Amino acid sequence: MTLPVQGNEEGNKMVKALVVTGFGINCEEEMAAAYRLAGADATILHLNELFRERDSIRRYDILNLPGGFSFGDDIGSAKVLANKFKFKKMRSGKLFIDEIAQFLNDGKYILGVCNGFQALVKMGLLPNIGGNFEQEVTLTGNDSGKFEDRWVHCLVTPGNPTPFLSDPAVKGLDMPVRHGEGKLIVRDARIREAILEKKLNVLTYADRQGRPTADYPANPNGSELNCAGLCDPGGQVFGLMPHPEAYLSLYNHPAWAKKKRETPGISEEGEGLAVFRNIVSEISKKR
């Protein structure tokens, strides 16, 4: 089947973000809204449309895996979704993971939030130290033993390699978490050392004094390395447990009124929008 015809000339110049949905993903509208506010063209597409080759990730600049409860989290969060990505044969007989590998070889980008981050980890796309899509870390049950649905503060690791966090003015982000399995566990000491050496632990949970912390509740899950987000060595793949797409407006924040009183000239943009502005800007500069 032929692919959809792209839009007009002006539309073709826009950064194109593909936001996948289906199988229990439920944050696709917020993520698409984030890209549109950042100046990109966002398309929401059911994964089956890609598997049946009615469209292709090759037409897009950024592949996005939003949050949700794919397959009901019945066999570990996003494990079934990860296996679909990794082992699903498309209509042509090609493995979908090979499409992803080519997508990355073409210099394009992938973002996974919450359930999407879990899928990227279990597919082996993060941190992918070995470069062979072998799983090197996992995300498992929170130390609290319960679902955590509240706001946290995260620090951006200076000098990290991902353009999603490239703005030097953004040193920290408030964002909400909504997960029951967000605790990062690293497979072995070699992987842990590589993550630290390459600055792939790009977001860390922090207390209100701006100090990385393993202490609950500032660290909502007990992650090793206080990890809230990882990228791959090339910075093209970025995954995080907190939801930047849920903080697009200042008024999303539970303390927005206090922020306005303390800083009357504060921007009305939400801090999470910076993640999307950064990557759209990076891609636009390459055109």
Would you say residue 14 has pLDDT above 80? Answer: yes
CA proximity to 88, closest of 134, 47, 46, 119: 47
Handedness of CA 71, 60, 103, 120 (dihedral sign): negative
Q: List pLDDT tens digits, range 78-131.
A: 999 999 999 999 999 999 999 999 999 999 999 999 999 999 999 999 999 999
Amino acid making up residue 230 = L
Q: List pLDDT tens digits, range 120-174.
A: 999 999 999 999 999 999 999 999 999 999 999 999 999 999 999 999 989 999 9
Q: Where in the sequence numbering do the catalytic residues fall?
A: 114, 243, 245
Six-digit token string for 271:
């801090």
Q: List pLDDT tens digits, range 43-81.
A: 999 999 999 999 999 999 999 999 999 998 878 889 999
Which secondary structure element, helix H or strand E, spans residue 281, and what is its range? helix 273-285
Q: If DSSP codes are grouped into helix, strand and coil, which group holds residue 45?
A: strand
Q: Name the pLDDT band for 11 (thresholds 50, 70, 90).
A: low
Q: How far apart are CA 4 and CA 191, in angstroms?
A: 42
Judge contact between 67 and 178, C-beta under 8 A: yes
Six-digit token string for 270:
């939400």
Domains observed in the chain = 9-141+180-191+230-285 (3.40.50.880)
CA proximity to 34, closest of 19, 23, 21, 47: 19
Predicted local distance difference test score (pLDDT) of residue 208: 84
Q: List pLDDT tens digits, range 249-285.
A: 999 999 999 999 999 999 999 999 999 999 999 999 9
Q: How far apart are CA 84 and CA 50, in angstroms?
A: 12
Predicted local distance difference test score (pLDDT) of residue 74: 79
Q: What is the pTM of this model?
A: 0.94
Predicted local distance difference test score (pLDDT) of residue 12: 63
